[in-house]
Structure 1
Amino acid sequence: MDFGGGEEIRFEVIGKAGVVTLTRTKALNALTENMVHALAAALEAWEQDDAIHCVLVKAEGRAFCAGGDIMNVYRAGKEGNVLVGFFADEYRMNAQLARFPKPYVALIDGIVMGGGVGISVHGSHRVMTGNAIVAMPEVGIGFFPDVGGSHALSRLPGSFGMYMALTGNRVRQGDALAVGLATHAIDAESQQALIEALTTSGDVDEVLRKFSVVAAPQTDAATFDAIARHFSRDTLDEVLESLKKDAERGDDFAAATLSTMLSRSPTSLRVTWRQIREGAALSMDECMRMEFRVLNRMLTGKDFYEGIRAALIDKGSTPVWDPASLDEVSEADVDAYFAPLGAQELNL
């Protein structure tokens, strides 16, 4: 079955399920434009097909999906060709997935970041093995947690989504289950049996009841409480001051978290703070339009390209952010990222 994804993504109808397999293993299944278009086409076709009871998305290799094909975006932008169209199509697909009326099972085994979160977290069922590692690390590359991050992260309990957004820290299976990023946990060894059961019966909830296991959080209750206390503050500056006070008292978690945040792009931090706060009151479609406004400004700025250079071109080097400090990023600067685009607004 071919929806135009070539050798990067495979589509099959197996029993009662539409099965999607990401096959771009050498690139950790990073999403390309062809993959985005193909998945959108498959969802549209399978939504209308009464023989398809559910959709299952899985991946080959050691990653579910490490994000979007960010190097392609970087190269194009450096050449003066800002790939806004790729993101527009991806955001439309994210919104389409959030509206998808049938059970959508993301079987996550390994790394899932950025765009990979976008093709999983908005689905009805997020099934994670013990190998799952989840993150939205965009503030570390001068970007922001897009693909609907403003909708999904803002709705996690205990300000955990704000914590993820502002640090980019990784989350394992137990924590993901505890905060609702995952809906179910399974043993990695049971994946093939789960797939066979899902495609045979099509009854997602019944099958997952049989395969689900208990996964204890990796984070203890005291740290969850600390995250909620720090990251529920009314301003980003108050978050940082709260962390600083605890760090000065010898709190290792606060010290490490503060150090992490201060290494991130100051612009990204301020924009992301606004994005997550506003996203809590917006619908998914409204979030995608807001994110598209931010995206347009990010791709014509400096920090995204500097962040990619430091992380992926000159691997391990320290990025030089511009502006270099949070104090240099004004409220007016942040406002400009969220300003309407007029005729260029995202059309959903």
Structure 2
Amino acid sequence: MGMSTGSNEEVILQTVKDKGVITLNRPKQLNTLNLSMVRKIYPMLKTWEADPRITMVLIKGVGEKAFCAGGDVKAITDSAKAGDYSYPFFGEEYVLNNTIGTLHIPYIALIDGITMGGGVGLSVHGSFRVATERSVFAMPEMAIGLFPDVGGGHFLPRLGGKLGLYLALTGYRLKGIDVQKAGVATHFVEAKMLDSLEKELLDLDDPGATDISKVLDHYHDQSKLDAEKEFHLQPHMEKINTLFAGDSMEQIFADLEADGSEWSLAQLAILKKMSPLSMKVAFRQLSEGATKSLQAELETEFRIGKHMLRNDDFHEGVRAVLVDKDNKPKWQHSCLEAVSPETVAKFFAPLPEAEELML
């Protein structure tokens, strides 16, 4: 093995033969992503991409619980509370997300374990995503008064039908093979095979995307666990595609209530716990993001994120879910009707030119 920052580092960067390997190394923190990690990964990715000898990049997390459970949002809110709205995490994270999405060499993410928020941004925009039976994928931002960022507005609408919007609004957790069946992962490989898979990938001689795909396909085909199971949401997909197709959040609420089925009312109860403001912002974000490039979407999300830093719901959501953990946030808007189109529009408003993210 070549370059390594050492096993005590938060992220370990190695060159193995002609491959780059990124290992997220904060298992006690579920490999959550922080600013210093972003600042190590990004320049290394650019170096590997510029090196004609490097044929692929593989990213994984230490431990069996998480690939990466998210970004360090508490540090962001702490910074904003202190009056510092310049916290650079969002911008630098999005630049990294964009680099992954535009990388000229194959990028393979082994999303074994919890993959949420920042972990989604480190994986979904790459060429290949490998889920295991331990994978748990979710975008739970509505519950903390945030929005599905890290390019969520780009990839979620592309999952087909209204599945992405449903996942964004409800924070529903996809588990195991469902992560692949939903289209979030490209492959499903049993966790016990990961070491063998990684070795075979790293042993490939000057591989291209086709060679990598053949190896991943082989392991996917050999993974029989849950292979015959129906996608867990399949029985509800017709309702998801119908009841989440409204032209506003108010319409979605009305359609769920009018349907009146046990499942629909259960979804309505979940949505009523979320930040009304976040839901309306996310609804517009995903509607517009369906036709945007990843770069354009990340630039929009940077605007939203900057405005969110100054928003009470984000701080209250982090308090309720991550700090005090009472799960009883007091949202600034009591219902959807209290959130005007003008209020939503403010989150999409351009920033001063010097502050904009330009990709």
Question: How far apart, in 1, do the equivalents of 2:70 and 2:85 lie?
Answer: 18
Alignment of 1:132-143 (within 5 A): 132-143=135-146
Cα shift at 1:3: 7.3
Partner of 2:333 in structure 1? 323
Question: How far apart, in 2, do the equivalents of 1:77 and 1:2 lie?
Answer: 34
1:95 aligns with 2:108: no
1:158 is paired with a residue whose SS is coil
Alignment of 1:265-280 (within 5 A): 265-280=275-290
Question: How far apart, in 1, do the equivalents of 2:262 and 2:176 lie?
Answer: 23
Partner of 2:38 in structure 1? 36
1:252 aligns with 2:262: yes
Q: Which runs of 4+ in 1 moved over 3 A?
A: 2-6, 213-218
Partner of 1:237 in structure 2? 250
1:110 aligns with 2:113: yes
Q: Deviations over 1:123-180 (max 9, x none)?
A: 0101000110000000100000001000010111121100011111111233222231
Q: Conserved in 1, the CA contact under 8 Å of 2:131 and 2:185? A: yes
1:288 aligns with 2:298: yes
Partner of 1:12 in structure 2? 14
Alignment TM-score, normalising by the size of structure 2 = 0.92
1:166 aligns with 2:169: yes
Q: Deviations over 1:59-107 (max 9, x none)?
A: 0121100110112112112211225411110111111111001111000
Selected match of 2:70 from 67, 72, 95? 67
Partner of 1:211 in structure 2? 219
Cα shift at 1:266: 0.6
Cα shift at 1:119: 0.4
1:76 aligns with 2:68: no
- Give the direction of change, closer, same or farther, for the CA distance of 1:89–1:3 in structure 2 (3 Å limit): farther
- Give the direction of change, closer, same or farther, for the CA distance of 1:292–1:257 in structure 2 (3 Å limit): same
- Give the direction of change, closer, same or farther, for the CA distance of 1:302–1:77 in structure 2 (3 Å limit): same
- Amino-acid identity (%): 41
Selected match of 1:122 from 99, 121, 125? 125
Question: How far apart, in 2, do the equivalents of 1:219 and 1:183 lie?
Answer: 17
1:143 is paired with a residue whose SS is coil
Corresponding letter in the other structure for 1:285: Q
Corresponding letter in the other structure for 2:213: D
Q: Conserved in 1, the CA contact under 8 Å of 2:24 and 2:61? A: yes
Q: Conserved in 1, the CA contact under 8 Å of 2:66 and 2:112? A: yes
Aligned alpha-carbon RMSD (Å): 1.6
1:139 is paired with a residue whose SS is helix
Question: How far apart, in 1, do the equivalents of 2:327 and 2:169 lie?
Answer: 21
Identify unmatched segments of 5+ residues in structure 2.
none
Between the two proteins, the alignment pairs up a number of residues equal to 345
Identify unmatched segments of 5+ residues in structure 1.
none
Cα shift at 1:218: 3.9
Between 1:333-342 and 1:110-119, the stretch displaced more is 333-342
Alignment TM-score, normalising by the size of structure 1 = 0.95
Question: How far apart, in 1, do the equivalents of 2:233 and 2:308 lie?
Answer: 36
Q: Deviations over 1:262-316 (max 9, x none)?
A: 1000100000000000001111110011101111111001000000111121113
Corresponding letter in the other structure for 1:229: T
Partner of 1:299 in structure 2? 309
Q: Conserved in 2, the CA contact under 8 Å of 1:5 and 1:35? A: no
Question: How far apart, in 2, do the equivalents of 1:18 and 1:127 lie?
Answer: 17
2:84 is paired with a residue whose SS is coil
